[in-house]
Amino acid sequence: MKQVGISPEIPADARVLVLGSFPGRESLRQQAYYAHPDNLFWQFMEELFGIRRSLPYRERLRRLNRLGIGLWDVIACCRRRGSLDQDIRRGDLEINDFNTLFRRHPSVAAVFCNGGLAHSLFERYVVPRLPPSFRAVAVVKLPSTSPANRYMGYAEKLEAWRRLERVVRGKSQP
């Protein structure tokens, strides 16, 4: 049976979109992005933007949205056992509708992909189908915040994620 992802959490004036591949088991259960307690996403948002991870999920999301950051996933639905990206069956996954997203949110200037799979799927399935006017959106690959990503240490991952902070605060281009 196919699993369906979580609804997008994107403010009307979003400037930046953070994309995962597909929510893990705990995120699906809670219907909350990055809900696994060992996922570093909300810890990074606390370090970068002062959004305390101890706040209720809806309040964290509200504060993130106020910064012009939206959250979504590349995959709309798929078959997968467990929570790992490597367990996603590639043959029958469905990609979210990014053409509609960019039409509704023309202010999005950068997409930050949370991990390699999100980035490769976005580049392979989304970018070629975008109208030319949307292809100017910068696409940045960041290291996955998933607890399964053990290829980098915490400090190295956080340093890479500082690129998001610099763009959101207007200190650099994507």
Nearest to 76 by CA among 68, 88, 64, 62: 88
- Tokens 């392979």 map to which residue? 124
Minimal CA–CA distance to 64: which of 53, 74, 73? 53
Catalytic (active site) residue 99: no
| Of 39, 65, 99, 114, catalytic | 39
Sign of the dihedral defined by the CA atoms of residues 12, 17, 22, 24, in that order: negative
**Are 112 and 106 spatial neighbours (Cβ–Cβ below 8 Å)?**
no
Q: In what order do the strands lie in the sheet with 69-73?
A: 69-73, 16-20, 110-114, 138-142
76 and 96 Cβ atoms separated by less than 8 Å: yes
Cite the active site residues: 39
